Structure 1
Amino acid sequence: MNQHTAITPLKVTDPKIRKLLQIAGLRFVYSRARWLASEAETLGKAIQSNGLTCDEVDERLTEMGILDLVYPELMSEAV
C-alpha cells in the first residue's frame, strides 16, 4: 500500500553547516542563471538570423518551463 505522508524539512542548527548549504545553493542558482542567459542569447541570435521561427522559440521556452516569464500577460486569464 502506498501512503502519502508529509515530509518535513530537516532543520539545520549548526551555523557552519547551514552556511555551507546556503553557499552551495547560491552556486547552484548562479550556474542556472548563467545557463539561462546563454540559452536566451542563443535563441535571440537564432530568431534574429531567421534560424528559428517565433513558434519554435516559444516551443523551446515552453520546454525550458519559462514561457510564463517571457510572456506573463499571456499566462494570466483574460479579464
Structure 2
Amino acid sequence: MNHRLMVSDPAIRKQLQLAGLRFMCSRAQWLASEARIIGLQLKNNKLSSWEVDQKLEEMGALDLVYPELMRGDA
C-alpha cells in the first residue's frame, strides 16, 4: 500500500482511526442539529429560502440540497 500518511504502529493507527471516527460522528450530530434548526426557521418563516441557501453554502452542504446544480446539469 502506498498512502500519503502511513502510521506503521498498528496500535497507534487504530487509535487514530477511532479518534477520527468519533470526530466524524460528533460532526454528523452537529450537522443534523443545525439542519433541524434551519428547517424549523424556514418552516416558521424566520428565514427566507435565500438565507437558507446562504447557510447551506457556508456549511458546505449546498450540493447535498441541489446536486443537479453542482454537477452542471441545470
Match of 1:26 among 21, 24, 33: 21
What is the root-mean-square deviation of aligned Cα atoms in Å? 1.5
Q: TM-score, normalised by structure 2?
A: 0.88
- Runs of 4+ that moved beyond 3 A: none
For 1:18, give the aligned amino acid. R
Indicate the residue corresponding to 1:45 in structure 2: 40
CA distance in 1, matches of 2:57, 2:22: 25
Which residue matches 1:78? 73
Aligned residues: 72
| Partner of residue 17, structure 1 | 12
| C-alpha deviation, 1:49, in angstroms | 0.4
C-alpha deviation, 1:10, in angstroms:
3.7
Structure with the higher fraction of residues in helix conformation: 2
SS at match of 1:9: coil
SS of equivalent residue, structure 2 residue 52:
helix
1:36 — aligned with what? 31
Partner of 2:56: 61
> Which TM-score applies when normalising by structure 1?
0.83
- For 1:67, the aligned partner's letter is L
- For 2:64 and 2:46, the matched residues in 1 are separated by 23
Percent sequence identity over aligned pairs: 58
